[in-house]
Amino acid sequence: MPEQNPLLKPLVKTLLRGIDSDNVRVTQIACEAAQKLVLHSLLPVEAIEEIVKKFTLKYFNPDTDHKPAVRQALAYFLPVFCHSKIRNAQVMAGVAASVISRLVVDRDEIDEDGDAEMVGWPAITAHLSDWTDGRKVVGQTEAGLDGKIGFSADSELPHLVLAVDILERALTSTCSRDERKPLLSLLTKLHISATAPKSKEGEDTTHELLETLQGLVSEAVEESIGVDATQRNALAKLDATLAKRLGDAANAAVGQEDREDTVTPETAKPSETPAEEPRSSVARSSVAPSVDGSEMDVDEDDTMLAGMQGEGTRMPLEAEDSDDDDESTPRAPQIRATREATEKTEADIMDELLASDEEMTM
């Protein structure tokens, strides 16, 4: 790991002092310089978190109403920073709870002065939930084959981190009712699904964080830290959502183990039963289709074309071609007589007529 430049710490300190300066020009220059360093990740993570927290407090502070250039710079930077990378959204999630705690104190001071009025808590919590929404980060959405929009597994991390920070702060004894109310109001605006998206490896990367959050939510429900019925119902709903999600994950893990146990080397061996021998061509020729399309066996001697030979070959009767037949076996009589036996000449006819005449004269 490269050594940190010793000049970075005084530089960050100078930028933070410039952001809080009463001079509008100095504040604007410090904001623009710090924004460029943060967007290009040229500062350490701790310095980035401190600057982002300062920007967020400055954005909600009513003093910037008289500094339009500073407010415009902050209004552009905060959403661009949070929605450009998922780690930037996690940075905002890490400072959001402390921002609310600080704004509670600032609101009390502003109310005492009476010169300005801070924006309401619904607007503040809406901005913080939007800036920490990982689904709006570039590259965290993808369109499926069915046309539906899906989200990556990391898109839920910022809201999970923020939910853990909120409940850890709300469950402490030093958290007042005025601070707990906006914290739990922000918690109700976070997106935590009962069926989380899976990573490319098919594993849920937020399992440990979900278990921590479920423990905190269960404790919050038991102690009824909700300020009103809406917040208490939201906590109960979140508890049921987390229980369902972790229960489904546990069932999926058990099912995977069962499948791995059933596929053993013994069951994976091929069957030792010999395969059925294929029918020969003679056997296939004796199989005819039935009326319903199935096959049935037919005796070859019963077929009409049994014993037929190829074209141009003689088809002798079995009795004529058999060389093993006994000579005493009588042959079948000839059906046709020879031409010589059936035909008579004219001389034969005249001889017969003359013979009949002589018999008549005698």
Give, for 103, the enclosing helix (H) or strand (E). Answer: helix 86-113
What residues contact residue 287 under an 8 Å CB cut-off, 6+ apart?
279, 295, 296, 297, 298
| pLDDT at residue 218 is higher than 90 | yes
DSSP state for residue 109 in the 8-state scheme: H
pLDDT per position as a tens digit, 110-145: 877 667 788 999 999 999 999 999 999 998 877 667
In DSSP terms, 149 is beta-bridged to 143
β-bridge pairing 295-297 and 287-289 = antiparallel
CB atoms within 10 A of CB 215: 13
- What does 64-99 look like in DSSP terms, one character per residue? GGG-HHHHHHHHHHHHHHHHH-HHHHHHHHHHHHHH
- What does 11-63 look like in DSSP terms, one character per residue? HHHHHHHHHT-S-HHHHHHHHHHHHHHHHTT-S-HHHHHHHHHHHHHHHHSGG
| pLDDT at residue 266 is higher than 60 | no
Q: What number of helices (H) and strands (E) belong to the chain?
A: 15, 4
Give the sign of the dihedral formed by CA 137, CA 140, CA 143, CA 146.
negative
pLDDT per position as a tens digit, 346-360: 777 777 777 776 666
The pLDDT, as a whole number, for residue 196 is: 63
| pLDDT at residue 162 is higher than 80 | yes
Give the ranges where 114-228 is alpha helix by DSSP (H).
121-131, 157-170, 177-188, 207-223
The pLDDT, as a whole number, for residue 207 is: 82
The pLDDT, as a whole number, for residue 303 is: 43
| pLDDT at residue 85 is higher than 50 | yes
Whole-number percent of the chain with pLDDT over 70: 66
The pLDDT, as a whole number, for residue 283 is: 40
- How sure is the predictor about 195, in pLDDT bands with cuts at 50, 70 and 90? confident
Closest CA to 286 of 296, 275, 276, 274: 296
Burial of 136 by CB count in 10 Å (0-12 exposed, 13-18 middle, 19+ buried)? middle
pLDDT per position as a tens digit, 45-66: 999 999 999 999 999 998 888 8
| Higher-scoring residue by pLDDT: 114, 164 | 164
Q: How far apart, in whole angstroms, are the C-alpha atoms of residue 277 and residue 341?
A: 62
Separation of CA 310 from chain center:
64
Give the sign of the dihedral formed by CA 222, CA 228, CA 229, CA 233.
negative
| Higher-scoring residue by pLDDT: 118, 148 | 118
Lowest pLDDT segment from 35-39, 57-61, 246-250, 318-322: 318-322
Tokens, residue 306: 């049994």
**Range 182-208 average pLDDT:** 76
Question: Residue type for 281, please?
Answer: S
Q: How far apart, in whole angstroms, are the C-alpha atoms of residue 36 and residue 148?
A: 36
**Range 294-314 average pLDDT:** 46
**Range 212-236 average pLDDT:** 92
Mean pLDDT over all residues of the chain? 77
Q: How far apart, in whole angstroms, are the C-alpha atoms of residue 8 and residue 25?
A: 23
| pLDDT at residue 176 is higher than 80 | yes
Burial 25-36 (b: 16+ CB within 10 A, else e): eebbebbeebbe
| pLDDT at residue 269 is higher than 80 | no
| Higher-scoring residue by pLDDT: 141, 176 | 176
| pLDDT at residue 238 is higher than 50 | yes
